[in-house]
Amino acid sequence: MRVKKRTEGAEQVADIEAARKAFERYDLNGDGQITAAEYKSVMAQLGDPYVTEPVAQAVINAHDSNGDGLLTFDEFWAAQNKSGEKTA
Ligand SMILES: [Ca+2]
Ligand SMILES: [Ca+2]
């Protein structure tokens, strides 16, 4: 009898790959950090022109764990993993 192999490890990798793709979509200049200006222009491209730069900065600040005003992939990834659970 054959048992379906479970690839739990692979699923996690797929998740982080998806997150990385999403991150790269926001990181327009590819320097590994998302700025408020980048976030704003991507949201505008996605059809949300109401995200102004102060709004974008507030979104970034909400996930910016080291307080430099920029979002790294680590911070972005942590935000994905703790969505729904607010500790602040
Ligand atoms: Ca960037
Ligand atoms: Ca940061």
Residue 85, pLDDT > 60, answer no
Residue 4 in any domain: the answer is no
- Specify if 53 maps to a domain: yes
Mean pLDDT score of the chain: 88
Helices within 27-67 (DSSP H only): 36-45, 53-63
Q: Is residue 2 part of a domain?
A: no
pLDDT band (50, 70, 90) for residue 80: confident
Here the tokens at position 61 are: 């600040």
What global pTM score does this model have? 0.77
Q: How far is the CA of 65 from the centre of ligand 2 (A)?
A: 6
In a domain, 30, yes or no: no
Write out the residue range of the structural domain in which residue 39 sits: 35-80
- How do the residues of the chain divide into helix, strand and coil, expressed in percent and rounded to 5? 55, 5, 40
% residues pLDDT > 90 (the chain): 72
- Of 77, 64, 62, the C-alpha closest to 18 is 77
* Cβ neighbours for 85, distance < 8 A, ≥ 6 positions apart: none
Residue 6 CA to ligand 1 center (angstroms) comes to 37
Given a cut of 90, whether residue 65 has pLDDT beyond it is yes
Is 29 inside any structural domain?
Answer: no
Beta carbons within 10 angstroms of residue 36's beta carbon: 21
**Gap from CA of 72 to ligand 2 centroid (Å):** 6
Query: How many domains does the chain contain in total?
Result: 1
